[in-house]
Amino acid sequence: MIVVTGAAGFIGSNLVKALNDRGRTDILAVDDLRDGTKMFNLADLEIADYVDKDDFLGSVLSGDLDGQVEVIFHQGACSDTTEWDGKFVMENNYEYTKDLFHFCQEQGAAFIYASSASVYGGSSEFVERREVERPLNMYAYSKFLFDQYLRRHLPDCKAPVAGLRYFNVYGPREQHKGGMSSVAYHFNQQLRRDGVCRLFKGTEGYEDGEQRRDFVYVGDVVAVNLWLWDHPEVSGVFNCGTGRSQSFNDVAKAVIAWHGKGSIEYIPFPEKLKGAYQSYTQADMNTLRQAGYEASFKTVEEAVPEYMAWLADQHFIGQ
């Protein structure tokens, strides 16, 4: 059996789809569906069963799942970067992940989990080294702390385990995230509603809309997850981006090009974000490449049209 936590979420549901495409339907989907709109992400997919995240952890700790699990793709977490209830975040992200990690080690099952590029915080370097990891919120700290926990245990691991530090992921099945959805999603919504894509004016030496991020397509993120499962000889903590930075202008232009209409409007940079905004990210992909991953990553110009076509074919509540 394959377990996907956060299965109704963005990356989790794309993983379920990719597993279906491989012919696998023996999937236990784990999530918290208090936001019932996330069901749209699973409605067109095939799973063997669904279980709430708390009930799943209970089954893990009680031994009910012993001998049944082949791999856990752990994508579930409290991902709200504004959540400062540290006890809540650590229970949901750190302690929960530790429990699943030790279960997989005991069972000989692969464990592939979502870390985050947020562990780098305000750093200007994005490489998997302790000295450049500077988490700035509870979410980032919880991810950072488990990466550190894994590093200490890695020499003694008997089953494959890998963490992926996701950079700016975008693509299908993220619509439920609201304000946390990607800029590609928001630009599409703005253009459909108002005919314009709104970008921040320049700041900290960047021209209007020229702040840059490592935008990585969700299909490529899923491909890395599945490659790690296919290569049990590989364990560790890895960046998961494209290795290139592109501007917000690039994303907006790609959205406009697909629609064949629209314009860009630059709005004042919010005062509350000054000094607390990442104007540049670019994943150092050497560690993953050295581990043997050779596939290419789509550029914004390649992936955005695919994403826009998918969005145009969807019917969600409120759209």
CATH number at residue 44: 3.40.50.720
Q: Are 93 and 83 in contact (CB under 8 A)?
A: no
Q: What is the pLDDT of residue 318?
A: 46
* 141 catalytic residue (yes or no): no
Q: Let me know if residue 56 belongs to a domain.
A: yes
Residues 67 and 133 in one domain: yes
User: Facing residues of 196 across strands?
Assistant: 263
Cβ neighbours around 172 below 10 Å, total: 21
Residues 117 and 188 in one domain: no
Q: Let me know if residue 209 belongs to a domain.
A: yes
| Exposure of 182 in the CB half-sphere (CA atoms within 13 A) | 28
Q: What mean pLDDT is predicted for residues 129-145?
A: 93
User: 293, exposed or middle or buried, with CB in 10 Å at 0-12, 13-18, 19+?
Assistant: middle
Q: Let me know if residue 54 belongs to a domain.
A: yes
User: 37, exposed or middle or buried, with CB in 10 Å at 0-12, 13-18, 19+?
Assistant: middle
Q: Are 116 and 140 in contact (CB under 8 A)?
A: yes
CA distances from 171 to 67, 241, 259, 260 (A): 35, 14, 16, 20
Backbone angles phi, psi at 33, to 5 degrees: -100, 35
- 12-69: pLDDT as tens digits: 999 999 999 999 999 999 999 999 989 999 999 999 999 999 999 999 999 999 999 9
- Rounded Cα gap, residues 64 and 200, in angstroms: 51
How many separate domains does the chain show?
A: 2
Residues 8 and 112 in one domain: yes
Q: What is the pLDDT of residue 306?
A: 98
First-to-final CA distance of the chain: 36
Is pLDDT of 117 > 70? yes
- Rounded Cα gap, residues 319 and 317, in angstroms: 6
* Amino acid letter, residue 145: L
* 177 catalytic residue (yes or no): yes
- Rounded Cα gap, residues 55 and 313, in angstroms: 35
Residues 144 and 189 in one domain: no
- Rounded Cα gap, residues 150 and 163, in angstroms: 9
Q: Let me know if residue 318 belongs to a domain.
A: no
Query: Model's pTM, two decimal places?
Result: 0.94
Residues 11 and 60 in one domain: yes
Question: What single DSSP character describes residue 280?
Answer: B
CA–CA–CA angle 236, 241, 247 (5° rounding): 155
Marked catalytic residue, from 139, 166, 185, 217 = 139
Residues 194 and 123 in one domain: no
Marked catalytic residue, from 50, 98, 149, 177 = 177
Where in the sequence is the domain holding 272, given as residue range(s)? Answer: 171-213+245-282+298-311
Backbone angles phi, psi at 161, to 5 degrees: -145, 135
Residues 8 and 144 in one domain: yes
The helix (run of H) or strand (run of E) holding residue 243 is: none
Q: What is the pLDDT of residue 126?
A: 96
